[in-house]
Chains A and B, each alone.
Chain A
Amino acid sequence: MLISLRDITKIYRVGIDTVHALRGVDLDIGENELVAIMGSSGSGKSTLMNVLGCLDRPTDGTYLLKDRRTDRMGAVELAHVRNELIGFVFQSFELLPRATALANVELPSLYARGERRRDRRKRAREVLDRVGLGDRMDHRPNQLSGGQKQRVAIARSLLNRPAILLADEPTGNLDSTTTADILRLFRALHREGQTVIIVTHEDEVAAHCERVIRLHDGRIASDLPISEDPAGRLLEEVAEITESGS
């Protein structure tokens, strides 16, 4: 199993209050899955994403990522795991404003170890080509549209061939047409073998995934294939979008 969470809890202390963000989550995600994690605000979905992305350590429980226990790793080890195994895509793109698209995509290689450093420029061009921005490499973020910015961010997340592509509300800042473009890109990457986890609160986004995990109050409320999830009723619509795009 690619990802294996066992009895994960996360407790925050906010002043004198303690917040139980996760109250015992068991979760397995395999290679090449396309998963949506859903939930309202306060459900623990952001915390779960941070734990999955090795940005945060659980208070308790075990997290196996590619058979490595990450729940007790130090800050440096976690940084290396993020660099080598995880590609992040954020709602607000998080591109460096003064760097070109190519330089933005190359960013993770600056922190890479060993072989991953090699051929970084060639690899950066490859992934930019893959997301359809081969002709925008020297553009700066302010010369790109929202959808193009998010494509640059996706190219950046793919640079080090991550085990998981972790997208946090990736279409939250995009209009519906661009949203469809980006979701189509995720599906295409998924077809090429990429494991993709999308954190979202929109059924329309979740409908593009194959499995939907719903969180409520720090626990997994449901974990169903898209056909059995309420979001699945949008499936026909998705099919239309996919067809019109291909």
Chain B
Amino acid sequence: MISPAFWWQAIKLALSQIRANIGRSLLTALGIIVGVASVTTVIAALDGLKDRVLTEFETFGANRLLIFPDRPDGYPRNLYPWKDVRLKVEEIDAIAQHCPSVRVVTPITSLKTAVQHGERILEGISVTGIRPAWHETENRSILEGRPFNSIDEEEARQVCLLNDDAIRELGLPADPTGEHIIIGARRYLVVGTVETIQSMMLGINTSSAEIFIPFAMAARLKDDDFFFRATAMIRSPELAAEAESEVRFVLRKMRGLDGDEPDTFEVAAIDQFIDQFKALAAGITAIAGGIVGISLLVGGIGIMNIMLVSVSERTREIGLRKAVGATPSAVLMQFLLEAVVLCLVGGAVGVLIGEILAIGLTFIPDAGLDQAHVPLWAIIMSFSFSAAVGVIFGMFPAIKASRLDPIEALRHE
């Protein structure tokens, strides 16, 4: 119905209106600008965080199972006391023997204790008890010396591995193999050094001083019924579900759980954590979206206001257009398009500011946002929302313009 020339002219006219009233237009579009800029920045930050977390999970390994004691939800506390749900070394051995999809499994227990080297005593150092299988489940290379072997574990040898922070804090030489340190009143031989992996997620690794000793030795440092968790390595990532059910089966059998009793432990593949994180990120995005919705609403009211002003300022123009043959729908389209163009310009400025803020985020030290970037879908979404605001809030002024009586409009002062 309406000619292509009409659309072209209407867009040109809308842009010339914005240019002619540049200050007023920008002030009007401020709500849209702020809304779009904030949503793109939040999305950029979340996306960057997500990328970083996923990379971290990847280095951490997709084919790993975490096994830890867990009291079932919704049951009386005295039915499943913590003492009874804790893992036992025999259970770990059973998993290692009877789960074909599990390649290796290692119990892991952490404690904080005093460590001494020469005159230097450090309190509260993280000491972790591990089996040699740990070297396979963790992706951490041995920089000096050797890793643990099965003899270390079976004979409960007093040997240890250190990371660079521990070496530095204890004042050991750069290659500390052959040195001795005292952990809990026993003398340990340093057999090697372990690479430090920067990771803040899930509290699995810390970047500060770390000392590793054979699990059998760690058990002696603790009470008889101490808690520990375990990490299993799956033969291949596709076997994750199978490995999980095998572990579940073995543990239930060992614990003598009947069919209607709940699990007293948790077996989790790493992708479950990824899912959890994604759900969390989606939640934050939704909240941010809600806040942005409010600012777009405010912005939209501003647009409606300025469009009403524009319609009243240009009443004579509307009258003339009607006199030369503009149908009500043509007038409606012209003003609707003008509101949409105004919103899109606001959206473009908002995206630009959001992009600059996102770049700014990557320079904040230690914020973990160095991978922050505005994804394409966020830009497309920003423009779609801006256009929608233009249509919704431009509708009332446009209808008002389209219904003007040409005679009255031409007589308007």
Residues of chain A having any CB pair with chain B under 8 Å: 50, 53, 55-56, 75-76, 79-80, 82-84, 88, 90, 94, 96, 98, 103, 107-113, 117, 120, 156, 160
Contact = CB atoms under 8 A, between A and B. Distances in A.
Given A94-B410, A98-B16, A53 B323 contact: yes
A83 to B, nearest CB: 2
Interface string B172-215: 00000000000000000000000000000000000000000000
B86 interface: no
B277 interface: no
Nearest to B17: A98
A204 to B, nearest CB: 25
Given A111-B330, A117-B3, A82 B323 contact: yes
Interface stretch (B102-110, B145-153, B295-303, B313-321): B313-321
Given A55-B322, A75-B328, A160-B325, 11 more contacts: A79-B325, A79-B328, A83-B325, A88-B323, A90-B410, A103-B9, A109-B3, A110-B330, A111-B6, A112-B325, A117-B3
A84 B325 contact: yes
B5 A75 contact: no
A189 B39 CA distance: 61
A111 B327 contact: yes
Contact of A55 (B9, B317, B328, B407): B407
Give 10 nearest A-B pairs by CB, closest first: A83-B325, A111-B325, A108-B324, A79-B327, A94-B320, A110-B6, A111-B326, A82-B325, A76-B327, A88-B323
A108 B6 CA distance: 10
Contacts of A112: 3, 325
7 contacts: A55-B323, A56-B407, A79-B330, A94-B323, A107-B324, A108-B324, A117-B5
Contacts of A156: 324
B79 interface: no
A96 B317 contact: yes
Contacts of A108: 324-325
Contacts of B323: 53, 55, 82, 88, 94
B3 A110 contact: yes
Interface string B1-27: 101011001000000100010000000
A141 to B, nearest CB: 12
Contact of A75 (B3, B9, B316, B327): B327
Nearest to B317: A96
A76 B2 CA distance: 13
B293 interface: no
Contacts of B330: 79, 110-111
A95 to B, nearest CB: 8
A80 B327 contact: yes
A79 B6 contact: no
Interface residues of B, number: 24
Contact of B324 (A56, A103, A111): A111
A82 B407 contact: no
B406 interface: yes
Contacts of A76: 327-329
B406 A55 contact: yes
A107 B321 contact: yes
Contacts, number: 70
A53 B325 CA distance: 11
A55 B328 CA distance: 13
Interface in B63-114: none
A232 B6 CA distance: 46
B5 A79 contact: no
Contacts of B325: 79-80, 82-84, 108, 111-112, 160
Contacts of B328: 75-76, 79
Contacts of B20: 98
Interface of A is mostly: helix
Given A111-B324, A111-B326, A94 B316 contact: yes
A201 B62 CA distance: 91
Nearest to A85: B325
A76 B332 CA distance: 13
Contacts of B320: 90, 94, 96, 107
Nearest to A93: B320
A203 to B, nearest CB: 25
Contacts of B322: 55, 79, 82
Interface in B371-413: 406-407, 410
A111 B407 contact: no
A98 B317 CA distance: 12
Contacts of A79: 322, 325-328, 330
B324 A83 contact: yes
Contacts of A50: 407
A101 to B, nearest CB: 15
Contacts of A88: 323-324
Contacts of B6: 110-111
Contacts of A111: 6, 321, 324-327, 330
Contacts of B16: 98
Contacts of B5: 109-110, 117, 120
A110 B9 contact: yes
Contacts of B329: 76
A32 B327 CA distance: 28
Residue among A75, A76, A103, A160 facing the most chain B CB atoms (10 A cut-off): A75
Contacts of A113: 1
A148 B52 CA distance: 68
Nearest to A82: B325
Contacts of B317: 94, 96
Nearest to B402: A75
A13 B179 CA distance: 108
A79 B404 CA distance: 13
A53 B327 CA distance: 15
Contacts of B9: 103, 110
A94 B20 CA distance: 19
Nearest to A160: B325
A157 B127 CA distance: 93
